[in-house]
Structure 1
Amino acid sequence: MNFKFQVPSSKFQIPSFKFQVSSFKSQTMIRINDIIDKIVENNPDAELDLVDRAYIYSARVHDGQVRLSGEPYLSHPLEVAGILADMNLDVVSVAAALLHDVIEDTHATEEEIKEMFGPEVCHIVAGVTKLSKLPFYTSQARQAESIRKMLLAMADDIRVILIKLADRIHNMRTLKYHKKEEKKKKISQETLDIYAPLASRLGIYWIKNELEDTSFMYIDPEEYSKIESLVSKDKKEREGYVDTVKKLIRKEMAKANLKCEVIGRYKHFYSISQKMKSQSLAFEDVYDIIAFRIILDTKPQCYEALGLLHALWKPIDIKFKDYIGRPKPNMYQSLHTTVIGPYGERIEIQIRTWEMDKVAKSGIAAHWGYKEGKPIDESTGKQFAWIQELIENQENVKDPNEFLENVRIDLFPDEVYVFTPVGDIKCLTKGATSVDFAYAIHSEVGNQCTGAKVNGQMAPLKYELKTGDIVEVITTKGHHPSRDWLKFVKTVKARSRIRQWIKTQEKARSISLGREMCEKAFRKYRLNYNELLKSEDMKKAAEAFGFKTVEDLIANVGYGKITPLQLVRKFIPKSDESEKKKSDSFFDKLINRVRKKKAATGVLVRGIDDILIRFGKCCQPVPGDSITGYITRGHGVTVHKTNCINALNMNSERQIEVEWNEEVIASYPVKVLVISRDRVGLLAELATIISKNGANILNVNSTTRESKMVDSFFTLTVKDTQHLNKVLSAIRKIKGIREVKRIDS
């Protein structure tokens, strides 16, 4: 069938574009004139010419491209632009949304976009563009660099991330058209790790909730369906209860002449699942499946309404939070309280003004004033200083896995608010310590920190700070960070600064060791190391090994990544090399001691053959996991999962690339936690199901809680992650099972 895009309301005639589509319904598309109508509704004086031209250009360069759904590709930028128009963003944002994929997916260039639409639109489009066209060794490196670029652009212009979030929303809505389940899960996990927390930090909760629920549906479809059916089961009864509570609240507010709107809403499925897991609750024990919201005109009315509710129903003290007096960093404001309502049921209630409700829905988009070219006001800019801090914390992190892990930590939603002795507030990650606080003040304060007073009393450096604490840091000139601090610090800034100092110290030691090892090796081949060190040949050797400087090359000899003999071979003829083949340096002998002549292992180490391989007991990787290796002198290479906390704390200079050997079929141990209701015969049934699915039980340990819930820890052997997922899926189907998950040691 034919489908036309037309724009009647513009300053010049826009041609219609026809697309041949086999099965496509026009009512599912957002038309460009709908977007323009929305812009005009929000801003009657908006300059529509930019949007018109962006639409025409996007339609032209995307012509002939089709999405997996069968829709013309242009449907995607139109949907993204429509989402931004609904968020009341300016014409530059909408134009950039229409163009956001043209550099990546068409012949368009940045220069062309800049010339046709100006530097502002070009900057935003370039920030949104992924780096899929650039070569990277791993998908993690590509993902890390893409997100790094996006965050850098976001620091200059927040509209980059708003477009990216809208882009991700539409991609998640159409994820069902991907055929590969693993691809769906990978995209969903990235969404859950990066984009949903970003939406939360920006205060755009409707995007956060939709991204979390959609990701949850693909990552764990069984659990999603289970919660969906449980929520639907007693829906009519719950709706009656909602009506009763709303009437009681309205009646109480009316007595005090408080004009308000009362809304009852269901908790999102992902939120219910997380609560069940974190608190080991059955669905029936999650009391706040339904939450209520009261919206009033003024701030004083909010506090008055709170007093009326606490007089009507008994409040639960520890559940009260005043986000009006102390707003969240993303400017979210509300009073949160939980009370014992009708029939003894717990009720969660949020109280806010209409303005606060607007911010809660739109987040930063409600404050970022770009209309008519006006920049954001200074006070709002300060609220989002964390974006710049996030960039600064990551600027020296080269390892892609460490970078992604740090970004996840920085986006962690829970915070504590602590005070300096002069009353300045510092917002830190939940669980942050006195050392984290010291680094939040200044890097040098953190490096020289030797103690801390919390509320006037001396406290250990690893003491976890609480909201309201007053912290005074004690420093000693000449003091240096300790590696042990990495075991308890929580903030990315503290961790990165400590690692940076340690790396500097270790590099100096490794250069010294590398120089000594090279001098010995070069002497054996009658080569003058000191002369060659300054030569062009040494620079070429460094480049051949993939290092920018000769210093980095020598340091990596000291680290153990390059052997002195490998370097010597760059400077001797092959005939001389054969004569000296039996002559090895100290480090070569060290490597040889850990090499074993044995059958092929399940892991291949890039650049080294026949070396001892060990698997980290902390994370127990299996084929299918993303892995990395670490050189350990005298013990070969230890293999960890890339997101293993121990691996992330190791010196990245000792990291070496490894990959699974697909030719080797073996069994690998994994630890699994099964949480279930206690009943007779459960353990026997678990053992039978595990055995039927081809896994072997190496060890099992069960503990029964007072609540009659049982925690069973299994050590199983499996072939790969696909085999493990099959076993876990079979266990979930057993009656009485509440949760099944793989765990680290």
Structure 2
Amino acid sequence: MDAVEQTARIGCEGLIRKILGYDPNADIALIERAFAVARDAHASQKRDNGEPYLTHPLAVAGILAGFRLDVASIATALLHDTVEDTGVTYDALQAKFGRTIADLVDGVTKLTRLELQSDRTKQAENFRKLVLAMSRDIRVLIVKLADRLHNMRTLHHVRRSDRRERIAHETMDIYAPLAGRIGMDRVKTELQNLAFAELETEANSTIQARLNYLRGQGADVIEEVRLELARICREAGVALIEVIGREKSPFSIWEKMQRRNVAFEQLSDIMAFRVLVPSREDCYVALGAVHAGYPVIAGRFKDYISTPKANGYQSLHTGVTLRQPRNQKIEVQIRTPEMHDVAENGVASHWVYKEVPGEADGTQDPGVNTVISSLRRLRWVQDLLEIIENSAAPDEFLENTKLELYQDQVFCFTPKGQLIQLPRGATPVDFAYAVHSQVGDGCVGVKINGRLMPLRHELQNGDQVEIMTARGGTPSPSWERFVVTGKARARIRRHLAQTQRETHLDAGRAALARAFRREGVDGSEKVLDAALKGLKCASRDDLYVAVGNGNLAPKDVVRAAYPELRQGGRAPRMIPGLQHPATGRAGAGPGGMALVGLGAGISVHFAGCCHPLPGDRIVGIVAQGKGITVHTAGCQTLESFAATPERFMDIDWDYESVAKPGSNAGARAGPGEIHVGRISVIAANEPSMLATLTNTAARHDGTVVNLKIVNRQLDFMEILVDVEVRDLRHLSSVIAGMRGTSGITQVERARA
């Protein structure tokens, strides 16, 4: 036995000891067979660091054994790369290990194949397959997370920096949030920290250095506070098990710095403590002891025991301030050992690790393993499946699922008391779609805590929400601008796409009928069907839509159907002034700063849908005979031009000319140049409110030039306000002033 095989054998024996430690009756023969297949299959392969490839599946299996998973999952970990990287086939695995393990390996393999692609569409398809796979058996996701965790731990061995960055981005965007959604907080935190170290190397090093400095300044602070908390709890008669103290992770510190826009020195709660007690009742006794022992920080208490998170997480959270001389803020979490296990390991803590009868050969009754069946019914997994059905394009699916994964939750109630969990910032429309898709589609109004409120109102914890619906109601296009859940956005976009397609289809059919009549030729369905291939349209309806949305000219369809009508070759369509794009400055738009990236003499117009301001990222859209229309880069109107990318122009504000006092452009577009920004305001329906709005704008050096009340109810009104400002920063100052004004409940920049 050579050294490599001996090392592998030692690793396998260690894995078996770990499994027997929590499951003495485990099928060790299955693990031995899986190890033997993996050893032979990967015998000649090496990892990026030069180690035998077998070390990777062994490490992944060890991670799963640490979660006390069943032997089928651990065997899958040992075999997860065999089909992808070696000559082992699915049929061979099924013959040797049964259908269940073969299906698990196959699920992980399909994902890995697509991960090798860096293209965003492939990434979206990868994630789509992951959602479908984990909806059938959540163990596919758990094995995948363990695989990704070990790959991230060894990421520094990957030589190509672009590949390291891609893997880190994918981990941060998809796998860490997924780990959080199934409650595996320990895995989520480690994935985030490893990805953060790769993506933000300098920030990570700075935070680590600062933490090391603080440890040196007060190495015993955490231990002292831990002992003090334990003493306070015991004196209050709490049956204490343990108090654990820790620093918050570098990524969570950086995230809080970004969210609050503060420096490290301004953070006061970088320490967190966990108090473990025997029972649910003891949690509340311990909470009383902590609140009696320290000043409480207002607004920091959260009860996740009475209202658990969607992933099953339960705990009491509170924030307190230490006594003088420390005067530091700390976070305290109070829970039972069982709650702590769920908080750290999520669904893995519920797993039935003992062998399920018939599982080895894949013949078990689907109802035998209650854990698998309950996990398949996870509400958020079902929401992701619905997003798959409603999303038209892979990129759209990826965007909507990311919205669904990143959630700081609020808890609201239906009039009958049903608890609905939503992400922070959710609106009544998100609530309606969370209740049911048809409720969302038919939503026309809302009562929150008995009062009529606008549909864009931001929900708060404990709100009672009553959705008012109308039969035959349909989603409004404006909803897409304020909903925050992926499920709501996917459903709204699907409806809008269907409506738009029907409109284009009718318009295209009518336009073609007119074009064929003008030429005096037959425009029957048979004639159109014969022309489909040459026009690169899959069906007759697609042809009508292409004509209706302007991608095909009716006369081109007629000439494709009747080639004899062509009168010689057609010259390519030319757009004046764009044959030789200049990098010089164009004249400023109406009242606007000069722009870079336009040719001389081109007419420029600012879009009324998004009201671009200096400071916004902008793009230009070419309109033949009308010059250039300037939009913000995030303007939703741009989606209607997606099929004609040649109309997009890369332009920007000419900031340099503003900075040069001697330049002509600077004279035209100096710091005092005026632009119009549009603001959407929700305010109390009071007689003095309009005067308050205009006075607030004036106090921040803004002039109201137009004002429109778009919705007026008994308690509130929605108002669109056009304000003359210098740039984006000036508009933000006006918005901030309005947000701090009594009677105004919501202010945001309007996008239409």
Residue of structure 2 equivalent to 1:3: 3
1:556 Cα shift? Answer: 2.4
Instruction: For residues 82-129 of structure 1, give each alpha carbon's deviation from its aligned partner in whole angstroms, at most 9, with x where no partner exists.
Output: 111111111110111112222322333333333332221122222222
Residue of structure 2 equivalent to 1:656: 643
TM-score (norm: length of structure 1): 0.76
* Contact 1:370–1:376 (Cα < 8 Å) also in 2: no
Q: How does 1:617-636 map to 2 (within 5 A)?
A: none
Residue of structure 2 equivalent to 1:195: 175
Residue of structure 1 equivalent to 2:21: 41
1:601 Cα shift? Answer: 9.1
Distance 1:650 1:369, change over 3 A: farther
SS of equivalent residue, structure 2 residue 251:
helix
Amino acid at match of 2:98: G
Residue of structure 1 equivalent to 2:120: 140
State whether structure 2 residue 398 is matched by structure 1 residue 410. Answer: no
Q: After the TM superposition, which of the residue ranges 122-131 and 242-251 deviates more from structure 2?
A: 122-131
SS of equivalent residue, structure 1 residue 407:
helix
Residue of structure 2 equivalent to 1:440: 434
SS of equivalent residue, structure 1 residue 479:
coil
1:410 Cα shift? Answer: 0.5
Distance 1:313 1:491, change over 3 A: same
Identity between Structure 1 and Structure 2 (%): 38
State whether structure 2 residue 328 is matched by structure 1 residue 345. Answer: yes
* Contact 1:628–1:655 (Cα < 8 Å) also in 2: no
Match of 1:313 among 294, 299, 302: 294
State whether structure 2 residue 567 is matched by structure 1 residue 579. Answer: yes
1:628 Cα shift? Answer: 12
Q: How does 1:662-677 map to 2 (within 5 A)?
A: 669=652
Instruction: For residues 130-161 of structure 1, give each alpha carbon's deviation from its aligned partner in whole angstroms, at most 9, with x where no partner exists.
Output: 45757999811111111100110101111011
Distance 1:280 1:68 in 2: 39
Amino acid at match of 1:299: R
Distance 1:635 1:477 in 2: 43
Q: How does 1:708-723 map to 2 (within 5 A)?
A: none
Residue of structure 2 equivalent to 1:730: none
Instruction: For residues 629-658 of structure 1, give each alpha carbon's deviation from its aligned partner in whole angstroms, at most 9, with x where no partner exists.
Output: 9998988999999xx7545x865x753386
* Contact 1:131–1:145 (Cα < 8 Å) also in 2: no
Aligned residues: 630
Amino acid at match of 1:274: E
Match of 2:261 among 280, 293, 303: 280
1:522 Cα shift? Answer: 4.9
Distance 1:222 1:640, change over 3 A: farther
1:503 Cα shift? Answer: 1.4
Residue of structure 2 equivalent to 1:375: 369
Residue of structure 1 equivalent to 2:101: 121
SS of equivalent residue, structure 2 residue 268:
coil
Q: How does 1:48-197 map to 2 (within 5 A)?
A: 48-130=28-110, 139-197=119-177
Instruction: For residues 198-245 of structure 1, give each alpha carbon's deviation from its aligned partner in whole angstroms, at most 9, with x where no partner exists.
Output: 111111111111111111111111111111101101213332112221
State whether structure 2 residue 545 is matched by structure 1 residue 558. Answer: no
Amino acid at match of 1:429: P
1:273 Cα shift? Answer: 0.6
* Contact 2:180–2:188 (Cα < 8 Å) also in 1: yes
* Contact 1:419–1:471 (Cα < 8 Å) also in 2: yes
Match of 1:503 among 480, 497, 501: 497
1:429 Cα shift? Answer: 1.8
SS of equivalent residue, structure 1 residue 293:
strand
* Contact 2:138–2:375 (Cα < 8 Å) also in 1: no
Distance 1:135 1:294 in 2: 41
Instruction: For residues 685-712 of structure 1, give each alpha carbon's deviation from its aligned partner in whole angstroms, at most 9, with x where no partner exists.
Output: xx99xxxxxxxxx9999xxxxxxxxxxx
Distance 1:132 1:381, change over 3 A: closer
Match of 1:459 among 453, 463, 485: 453
Instruction: For residues 515-535 of structure 1, give each alpha carbon's deviation from its aligned partner in whole angstroms, at most 9, with x where no partner exists.
Output: 233345556776532143564
Match of 1:530 among 519, 524, 529: 524
1:577 Cα shift? Answer: 6.5
Instruction: For residues 537-583 of structure 1, give each alpha carbon's deviation from its aligned partner in whole angstroms, at most 9, with x where no partner exists.
Output: 345447x44x3x3312321232233444554565455xx37525459
1:168 Cα shift? Answer: 0.9
Distance 1:313 1:307 in 2: 10
* Contact 2:620–2:650 (Cα < 8 Å) also in 1: no
Distance 1:106 1:419, change over 3 A: same
SS of equivalent residue, structure 2 residue 410:
strand
1:260 Cα shift? Answer: 2.4
1:43 Cα shift? Answer: 1.2
SS of equivalent residue, structure 1 residue 426:
strand
Distance 1:67 1:569, change over 3 A: farther
SS of equivalent residue, structure 1 residue 315:
coil
SS of equivalent residue, structure 1 residue 314:
coil
* Contact 1:330–1:383 (Cα < 8 Å) also in 2: no
SS of equivalent residue, structure 1 residue 65:
coil
Residue of structure 1 equivalent to 2:419: 425
Residue of structure 2 equivalent to 1:12: none
1:182 Cα shift? Answer: 2.7
Distance 1:292 1:619 in 2: 48
Distance 2:66 2:478 in 1: 50
Distance 1:91 1:530 in 2: 64
Residue of structure 1 equivalent to 2:274: 293
SS of equivalent residue, structure 2 residue 126:
helix
Q: How does 1:724-743 map to 2 (within 5 A)?
A: none
Residue of structure 1 equivalent to 2:303: 322
Q: After the TM superposition, which of the residue ranges 135-144 and 629-638 deviates more from structure 2?
A: 629-638
Q: After the TM superposition, which of the residue ranges 629-638 and 298-307 deviates more from structure 2?
A: 629-638
Residue of structure 2 equivalent to 1:356: 339
Distance 2:556 2:62 in 1: 58
Residue of structure 1 equivalent to 2:510: 516
* Contact 1:629–1:655 (Cα < 8 Å) also in 2: no
1:598 Cα shift? Answer: 1.0
* Contact 2:71–2:353 (Cα < 8 Å) also in 1: no
* Contact 2:392–2:494 (Cα < 8 Å) also in 1: no
Distance 1:60 1:656, change over 3 A: farther
* Contact 2:528–2:561 (Cα < 8 Å) also in 1: no
TM-score (norm: length of structure 2): 0.75
Residue of structure 2 equivalent to 1:724: none
Distance 1:532 1:38 in 2: 71
Amino acid at match of 2:459: L
Match of 2:379 among 371, 385, 405: 385
Distance 1:508 1:379, change over 3 A: closer
Unaligned runs of 5+ in 1: 7-25, 603-611, 673-686, 689-697, 702-712, 716-743
Q: How does 1:259-274 map to 2 (within 5 A)?
A: 259-274=240-255
Distance 1:65 1:71 in 2: 9
Residue of structure 2 equivalent to 1:14: none
SS of equivalent residue, structure 2 residue 61:
helix
Amino acid at match of 2:169: Q
Distance 1:30 1:517 in 2: 75
Q: How does 1:244-255 map to 2 (within 5 A)?
A: 244-255=224-235
1:74 Cα shift? Answer: 1.9
SS of equivalent residue, structure 1 residue 167:
helix
Distance 1:331 1:601, change over 3 A: farther
Q: After the TM superposition, which of the residue ranges 209-218 and 559-568 deviates more from structure 2?
A: 559-568
Distance 2:196 2:56 in 1: 23
Higher relative contact order (Cα pairs below 8 Å, separated by 6+ residues): 2
1:384 Cα shift? Answer: 2.5
* Contact 2:606–2:629 (Cα < 8 Å) also in 1: yes
